[in-house]
C-alpha cells in the first residue's frame, strides 16, 4: 500500500513535468486585465524562511524587469504556523491584488490541526519550483552512505537515534516516518522552529541527522561541517557548480540508488483568492511565465538547488489532488491526522 502510493506520486509528477515541454502556453500573449494598484504577496511563514526569501526574490525580479505596471509588496502572515496567511486568502474572495506563495502546508495544516482551509477554495496559478530533501549527517559521522546510516540506526535502541527537522507533523516529520516504515528503523524525531536551527543542532552533534532542504544546509555543507548521504528524489539534482571543495549538488546520489526507494519533494506554488476573473488569472500566469525567465529567478533556483517547474492550469490541479491524497495517506499511517 505504502510503496504503491509513493510510486503513484512519482509517476504523476513525471507525467506532469514531461508534459510541460509538449503543452502550449495557456496564457494569452497579452492579458486584457492590468493591475492599477500594488500587488500583495502573502507569505504564510516567518521572516527569513524559504517562502519569505522566494517572495522577496519575486518582488525584486518583477520590479527590476518591469514585469508589472504596479509595485509588488510582501506581507508576512506566519501566525498559527502559517494558518493566518492561508485563512486571510480565504477571506479575500474576488481580490485580484493578493497572491499567496505556499508549500505543502496547504495540506498538512488542515490535516494536522483541523484548520478550516481547502486549497480548492483558492485559484491555483502556478507551481514555480519544488524543494528537494536531503539526508544529512555530521561531517564526523562514521557512515558514508544511506545503507551504513540505516545499519547504524538499527543497532541503537529503538527510538534513541535523534533525527531533527522543521516542525511537527510537517514535511520533515512525515519524511522521517516514511523512512522508518521503508527501512524498518525507529528515530527519535526532534522538531525545531526552522531548518537553520536543525542545521545548527546537527553541527553541534546534538542530533545525529536531519532531512533539511539544500538551501537550509548549504552554509554548513560548504564549511565542511556536515555531509550529504542522499537526496530523496528519483534523479540527482541538476546543478554542477561545486559547493564544497570537491562536490556539487549533482554529486549527491539518490536515496533510491541506495535502497531507500522514496521520492519526497515539496511544491512552491502561487494561488489567487477565489472569485477572480479569467482575465485576472491570465495576467498572473503571464507575469509568472515572464518571471521564471529572468536572471534573478534562474540564479535563485541554482542557489537554492530547487527543481524547476511550470505546472499551471489543469496540470497543476491534477498534481495538487494527487499530492494531497498522498499526504493524507502518509499522515494517516503515521497518526498525524487530527481526529477531534
Considering the domain architecture, whether residues 115 and 146 belong to the same structural domain is answered as: no
Considering the domain architecture, whether residues 66 and 91 belong to the same structural domain is answered as: yes
Q: Please, which pLDDT band fits residue 50 given cuts at 50, 70 and 90?
A: confident
Among 180, 182, 154, 322, which Cα is nearest to 261's?
182
The count of C-alpha atoms lying within 13 angstroms of the C-alpha of 182, restricted to the half-sphere facing its C-beta, is 24
Considering the domain architecture, whether residues 12 and 77 belong to the same structural domain is answered as: yes
pLDDT digits (tens, 9 = 90+) for 262-315: 999 999 999 999 999 999 999 999 999 999 999 999 999 998 999 999 899 899
The predicted structure's pLDDT at residue 185: 95
Considering the domain architecture, whether residues 108 and 8 belong to the same structural domain is answered as: yes
The predicted structure's pLDDT at residue 137: 98
The predicted structure's pLDDT at residue 48: 77
Among the three residues 258, 292, 323, which one is the final residue of a domain in this structure?
Answer: 258
- Domain residue limits at 72: 2-131+266-334
Considering the domain architecture, whether residues 227 and 146 belong to the same structural domain is answered as: yes
Among the three residues 206, 225, 258, which one is the final residue of a domain in this structure?
Answer: 258
Considering the domain architecture, whether residues 7 and 122 belong to the same structural domain is answered as: yes
Let me know if residue 339 belongs to a domain: no
Let me know if residue 280 belongs to a domain: yes
Considering the domain architecture, whether residues 252 and 141 belong to the same structural domain is answered as: yes
Considering the domain architecture, whether residues 50 and 151 belong to the same structural domain is answered as: no
The predicted structure's pLDDT at residue 31: 59
Considering the domain architecture, whether residues 160 and 190 belong to the same structural domain is answered as: yes
Domain of residue 153, CATH code: 3.40.190.10
Residue ranges in 68-139 assigned as alpha helix (H): 83-90, 105-113
How many structural domains compose the chain? 2
Number of H helices, E strands in the chain: 11, 11
Considering the domain architecture, whether residues 236 and 327 belong to the same structural domain is answered as: no
The predicted structure's pLDDT at residue 29: 43
Considering the domain architecture, whether residues 206 and 325 belong to the same structural domain is answered as: no
Question: Which has the minimum average pLDDT: 30-44, 56-70, 173-187?
Answer: 30-44
Distances (CA, A) of 43 to 63, 80, 215, 231, 309: 18, 13, 18, 27, 20
Sequential DSSP letters for 184-204 = T--EEEEEESSHHHHHHHHHT
> CA 149, CA 154: separation in Å to the nearest integer?
9
Considering the domain architecture, whether residues 310 and 276 belong to the same structural domain is answered as: yes
Q: Please, which pLDDT band fits residue 242 given cuts at 50, 70 and 90?
A: very high
Burial class (CB in 10 A: 0-12, 13-18, 19+), 119: buried
Residue 74, all three cell numbers: 510582501
Amino acid at each position: 500500500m505504502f510503496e504503491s502510493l509513493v510510486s503513484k506520486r512519482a509517476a504523476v509528477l513525471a507525467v506532469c513535468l514531461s508534459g510541460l515541454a509538449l503543452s502550449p502556453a495557456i496564457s494569452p500573449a497579452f492579458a486584457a486585465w492590468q493591475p492599477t494598484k500594488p500587488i500583495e504577496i502573502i507569505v504564510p511563514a516567518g521572516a527569513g524562511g524559504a517562502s519569505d526569501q522566494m517572495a522577496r526574490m519575486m518582488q525584486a525580479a518583477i520590479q527590476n524587469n518591469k514585469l508589472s505596471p504596479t509595485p509588488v509588496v510582501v506581507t508576512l502572515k506566519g501566525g498559527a504556523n502559517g494558518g493566518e496567511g492561508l485563512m486571510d486568502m480565504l477571506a479575500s474572495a474576488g481580490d485580484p491584488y493578493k497572491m499567496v506563495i505556499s508549500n505543502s502546508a496547504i495540506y498538512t495544516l488542515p490535516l494536522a490541526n483541523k484548520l478550516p482551509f481547502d486549497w480548492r477554495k483558492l485559484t491555483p496559478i502556478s507551481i514555480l519550483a519544488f524543494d528537494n530533501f536531503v539526508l544529512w549527517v555530521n561531517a564526523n559521522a562514521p557512515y558514508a552512505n544511506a545503507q551504513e546510516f540505516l545499519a547504524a540506526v538499527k543497532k541503537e535502541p529503538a527510538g534513541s537515534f535523534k533525527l531533527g527537522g522543521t516542525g511537527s507533523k510537517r514535511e520533515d516529520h512525515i519524511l522521517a516516518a516514511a523512512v522508518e516504515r521503508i527501512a524498518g528503523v525507529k528515530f527519535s524525531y526532534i522538531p525545531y522552529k526552522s531548518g537553520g536551527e536543525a542545521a545548527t543542532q546537527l553541527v553541534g552533534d546534538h542530533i545525529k541527522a536531519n532531512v533539511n532542504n539544500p538551501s537550509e544546509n548549504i552554509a554548513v555543507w560548504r564549511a565542511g561541517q556536515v555531509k550529504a548521504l542522499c537526496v530523496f528524489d528519483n534523479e540527482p539534482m541538476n546543478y554542477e557548480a561545486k559547493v564544497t571543495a570537491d562536490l556539487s549538488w549533482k554529486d549527491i546520489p539518490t536515496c533510491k540508488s541506495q535502497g531507500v526507494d522514496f521520492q519526497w519533494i515539496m511544491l512552491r506554488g502561487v494561488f489567487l483568492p477565489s472569485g477572480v476573473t479569467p482575465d485576472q488569472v491570465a495576467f498572473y500566469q503571464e507575469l509568472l511565465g515572464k518571471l521564471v525567465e529572468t536572471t534573478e529567478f534562474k540564479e535563485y533556483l541554482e542557489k537554492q538547488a530547487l527543481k524547476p517547474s511550470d505546472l499551471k492550469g489543469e496540470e497543476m490541479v491534477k498534481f495538487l489532488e494527487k499530492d494531497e491524497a498522498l499526504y493524507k495517506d502518509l499522515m494517516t499511517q503515521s497518526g498525524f491526522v487530527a481526529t477531534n
